[in-house]
Amino acid sequence: MTGRSAVTVRVPAKVNVQLAVGGARADGFHDLANVFLAVGLYDEVTAVPAEALRVSATGPDVDRVPLDRTNLAARAAELLAARYGLEPRVHLHIAKDIPVAGGMAGGSADAAGALVACDALWGTGASRDELLAICAELGSDVPFSLVGGAALGLGRGELLTPLEVGGSFHWVFAVADGGLATPAVYREFDRLNAGVDVPEPVASEALRAALRAGDAVALAGALSNDLQAAALSLRPSLAATLDAGVAAGALAALVSGSGPTTAFLAKDADSAAVVAAALMASGTCRAARVAAGPVSGATVV
């Protein structure tokens, strides 16, 4: 123990500015070329000593967040404790602001947050590499939630290379009613691509150049999401949301990860505010949130 009575960690959501998906492998997973950008929508995970592992959560849609040991934050605490021969005697409270099952890696953010919070609370002093290895065990998107910024993820998305970004990008996120289960979206991808020779996923050089230059117009031209057709097939109403954001002046629109959150890249902060207001007025989404990125990964506050 470090003598700390509580540790709070703030963790950002992500948007995939490129999500290139290969064909289904023999093990059912897909190879990805995944370019992540961390954006300023945050969950906060607070770890407090307790008799036994316990999870609580507050925020919109918390009724869809499991509070048992299937919660990714609880699993993160258990894995860290097991590695150091400790009992996970901790209460994890999640103040949720990232849409649940929205394709913005909310569960992954909570896992990374719990790991950093428990490491500080218990004084385990795990190295960055140890924390990253535990993250990769928890899920493909969890390592990125720890590091933040912008990164290329290969393999299942977990083999990360940090990317240079030359400026801040302004986004609007339209939150849809209900979630989409990521495995269901991949199944739909496989169904839509049955009999198709799906090419190897490759990171876009134009996209990396746009990030390096901090050039929003160039980035808008290079955004891509191979899961978008599958998400739209499962949730056709998202097309109207995408259209409403573009009509309001967004440079580009795409489904965020596996959806159903949709992401709109704006020219600047003022334009993002206009697009958000128009999306709210369109009645095609439940909420519209503005956020800029890149931002730092899991950070003790």
User: Quick one: how far is CA 193 from the chain centroid?
Assistant: 25
Amino acid of residue 55: V
- Residue 267 annotated in active site: no
- Verify binding: residue 223, ligand ATP, rule CB under 6 A: no
Is 119 known to be catalytic? no
Annotated catalytic residue, options 14, 61, 119, 226? 14
Pick the binder of ligand ATP from 100, 116, 174, 298 (CB under 6 A). Answer: 100
Distance CA 1, CA 55 (A): 20
282 by Cβ neighbours in 10 Å (0-12 / 13-18 / 19+) ranks as middle
Report, in Å, the least distance between residue 94 CB and ligand ATP: 6
Size of the site for ligand ATP (CB under 6 A): 23
State the residue number with the nearest CB to ligand ATP: 107
Q: Which listed range, 71-79, 211-219, 220-228, 285-293, lies at the site for ligand ATP (CB under 6 A)?
A: 71-79
Binding of ligand ATP by 72 (CB under 6 A)? yes
Cα torsion 233, 231, 59, 271: sign = negative
**294: contact with ligand ATP by CB under 6 A:** no
220 near ligand ATP (CB under 6 A): no
31, 43, 110, 141: which is the annotated catalytic residue?
141
Q: How far is the CB of 274 from ligand ATP (least distance, A)?
A: 26
Smallest gap from Cβ 134 to ligand ATP, in A, equals: 15
**Under the phi-then-psi rule, with left for phi > 0, alpha for psi from -120 to 50, and beta for the rest, what region is 249?**
left
227 binds ligand ATP (CB under 6 A): no
Q: Which of 31, 44, 110, 158 binds ligand ATP (CB under 6 A)?
A: 110
103 binds ligand ATP (CB under 6 A): yes
Choose which of 6, 50, 64, 270 interacts with ligand ATP (CB under 6 A): 64
- Note the helical H segments in 150-268: 182-192, 205-213, 216-222, 228-234, 238-247
Distances from the Cα of 193 to the Cα of 101, 121, 184, angstroms: 24, 47, 14
Q: How far is the CB of 215 from ligand ATP (least distance, A)?
A: 26
Q: Based on CB atoms, which residue is closest to ligand ATP, 98 or 278?
A: 98
Residues 229-268 that bind ligand ATP (CB under 6 A): 257-258
Q: Which residues of 118-151 are buried (b: 16+ CB within 10 A; e: fewer)?
A: bbbbbebebeeebbbebbbebbbbbbbbbbbbbb
**Residue 73 touching ligand ATP (CB under 6 A):** yes
Q: Smallest distance from the beta carbon of 186 to ligand ATP, in angstroms?
A: 10
Does residue 182 belong to the site contacting ligand ATP (CB under 6 A)?
yes
Alpha carbon distance 111, 143 (integer Å)? 9
Interatomic CA distance for residues 148 and 166, integer angstroms: 15
89, 186, 220 from 32: Cα distances, Å:
36, 12, 20
Dig out the tokens for 280 from the structure: 């709210």
User: Annotated catalytic sites, by residue?
Assistant: 14, 141
Question: Which residues lie near ligand ATP (CB under 6 A)?
Answer: 64-66, 70-73, 94, 100-108, 110, 141, 179, 182, 257-258
